[in-house]
Amino acid sequence: MFNFLESVQTYGREASQAAQYIGQGFRVTFDHMNRRPVTIHYPYEKLIPSERFRGRIHFEFDKCIACEVCVRVCPINLPVVDWEYQTSVKKKQLRSYSIDFGVCIFCGNCVEYCPTNCLSMTEEYELSVYDRHELNYDHIALGRLPTSAADDPMVQPVQGLAYLPPGQVERGQDFYREESSDDSL
- Point out which residues bind ligand SF4 (CB under 6 A): 64-70, 74-76, 78-79, 81, 99, 104-110, 114-116, 118-119
Choice between 45 and 68, CB closer to ligand SF4: 68
Which stretches of 103-174 are assigned E, i.e. beta strand? 119-121, 136-138, 156-159
> Minimal distance in Å, beta carbon 47 to ligand SF4?
21
> Minimal distance in Å, beta carbon 174 to ligand SF4?
29
Choice between 98 and 147, CB closer to ligand SF4: 98
Number of other residues whose CB lies within 10 A of the CB of residue 68: 15
Whose CA is closest to 97, among 112, 118, 113? 118
The amino acid present at 71, given as its one-letter code, is V
Is 107 marked within a binding site? yes
Residue 106: half-sphere exposure toward Cβ, Cα within 13 Å:
15
Hey, is 131 helix, strand or coil? coil
**Helix and strand totals (H; E) in the chain:** 5, 7
Choice between 40 and 65, CB closer to ligand SF4: 65
Is 118 marked within a binding site? no
Choice between 8 and 76, CB closer to ligand SF4: 76
Angle 33-35-37 from CA coordinates, rounded to 5°: 95
Binding-site entries: 64, 67, 70, 74, 104, 107, 110, 114
Binding-site entries for [4Fe-4S] cluster: 64, 67, 70, 74, 104, 107, 110, 114
